[in-house]
Amino acid sequence: MKLYAPSTINEIKEKYGFKFAKSLGQNFLTNKNIIDEIINICDIGPDDLVIEIGPGIGVITCEAAKKAREVIAIEIDKNLIPILQDTLAEFSNVRVVNQDVLKTDINGIIEEAKSRQLSIQNPPVKSVKIIGNLPYYITTPIIMKVLEDGIEAESITIMMQKEVADRIKAKPSTKDYGALSVAVQYYCETAGSINVPKEVFYPRPKIDSTVLKLKLLEKAPTELLDKNTFFNCVKASFGQRRKTLNNSLSGMGGVSKDLIKEALDNAGVDGIRRGETLTLEEFGMLANEIFKLMGEARRGNNISTAQNPPV
């Protein structure tokens, strides 16, 4: 049986009374070549743990299960669970978790799977690979969750709108370069992509997609004194994209114009530039200067308060 064939999907719909939930972005893959390309780009080995987000009826899951030590598939739709139990019945190395991935403790799932694997006397899991064909509206939240929660994965391979992939990969001074590019490039490098035409989905969506493989960097590309200040600085710079840094950085809140001017001077960044021209390293230097000066300003306030106690 070709699980990915539209005729099989129709049989499954009939047998289980399943209805596509548009709100959950349920467009299933129907092309074996694309499924194989996704599996290949993931580069799954026999000691790998795969976390799949949004398995649907399991077309990617079963191919991953043939290569991985274990696959844990997180699916929000409870109507798909009995279907997955049938379509994946032959794989003893697949676990299906019926949860919203955005509310899932992915690190907890990984730790539990690793210790279970060891207790059945397997060699340690070599690496964790995350894979997912997800609704577009959760692409950015899920990528940022994986990155910000420090999820211990080697790579994350996700199907997304082509426009989002372009924004993630974008370089400074291009129209697509923005806060998302800087945030993702701080944690990852792009390690491959696949163009996916809309014709290979059932039901067919309106737009084409891209599968992007992001490899998590072992060492950050720039050393930061404080991540929050860095991300606030990036957000403020792109929040008012057309403004110069002299003006847009006041959007960070709690920083004076003088402090911004001094930080820009110290970092060697011209304040009449726009945020969209800064490299990740320049954002790093600037954020570090802002953080240092904010610390100095706070300490200065404390000293003057101590010297002049309120009467």
Site size toward ligand SAM (CB under 6 A) is 24
* 194, β-bridge pairs: 211
Q: Which of residues 199-228 bind ligand SAM (CB under 6 A)?
A: none
**Roughly how many angstroms between the first and final C-alpha of the chain, as a whole number?**
84
The half-sphere exposure of 48 on its side-chain side, counting CA atoms within 13 A, is 22
Residue closer to ligand SAM by CB (options 82, 123) is 82
60 near ligand SAM, judged by CB under 6 A = yes
Residue closer to ligand SAM by CB (options 68, 286) is 68
- Tell me, what amino acid is at 83? I
Residue closer to ligand SAM by CB (options 50, 138) is 138
54 near ligand SAM, judged by CB under 6 A = yes
The least distance separating ligand SAM from the CB of residue 66, rounded to whole angstroms, comes to: 16
Mask for 89-108, x = binds ligand SAM (CB under 6 A): -----------xxx------
Q: Which two tokens stand for residue 138?
A: 């959760």
Query: Quick one: which of 34, 39, 74, 168 contacts ligand SAM (CB under 6 A)?
Result: 74
Residue closer to ligand SAM by CB (options 29, 156) is 29
d(CA 78, CA 30): 22
Q: Which of residues 106-145 bind ligand SAM (CB under 6 A)?
A: 133-135, 138
Residues 6+ apart with CB under 8 A from 255: 249, 290, 294
Residue closer to ligand SAM by CB (options 206, 219) is 206
255 near ligand SAM, judged by CB under 6 A = no
Residue closer to ligand SAM by CB (options 211, 285) is 211
Query: Quick one: which of 48, 63, 70, 75 contacts ligand SAM (CB under 6 A)?
Result: 75
87 near ligand SAM, judged by CB under 6 A = no
CB atoms within 10 A of CB 206: 5
275 near ligand SAM, judged by CB under 6 A = no
Contacts 24+ apart (CB under 8 A), 104-111: 104/74, 106/51, 106/145, 106/146, 106/149, 106/151, 107/149, 107/150, 107/151, 107/152, 109/51, 109/72, 109/74, 110/49, 110/51, 110/151, 110/152, 110/153
Query: Quick one: which of 3, 12, 26, 181 contacts ligand SAM (CB under 6 A)?
Result: 26
Query: Quick one: which of 53, 65, 216, 290 contacts ligand SAM (CB under 6 A)?
Result: 53
156 near ligand SAM, judged by CB under 6 A = no
Q: How far is CA 155 from the centre of its chain?
A: 10
72 near ligand SAM, judged by CB under 6 A = no
d(CA 285, CA 223): 8
Could you tell me which stretch among 52-60, 81-89, 271-279, 283-291 binds ligand SAM (CB under 6 A)?
Answer: 52-60
The least distance separating ligand SAM from the CB of residue 237, rounded to whole angstroms, comes to: 30
Q: Which two tokens stand for residue 174?
A: 């291009």
What secondary structure letter does DSSP report for 124? Answer: P
Contact indicator for 273, 260 with CB cutoff of 8 Å: no
Query: By the criterion CB under 6 A, which residues form the site for ligand SAM?
Result: 24-29, 53-56, 59-60, 74-77, 80, 100-102, 133-135, 138
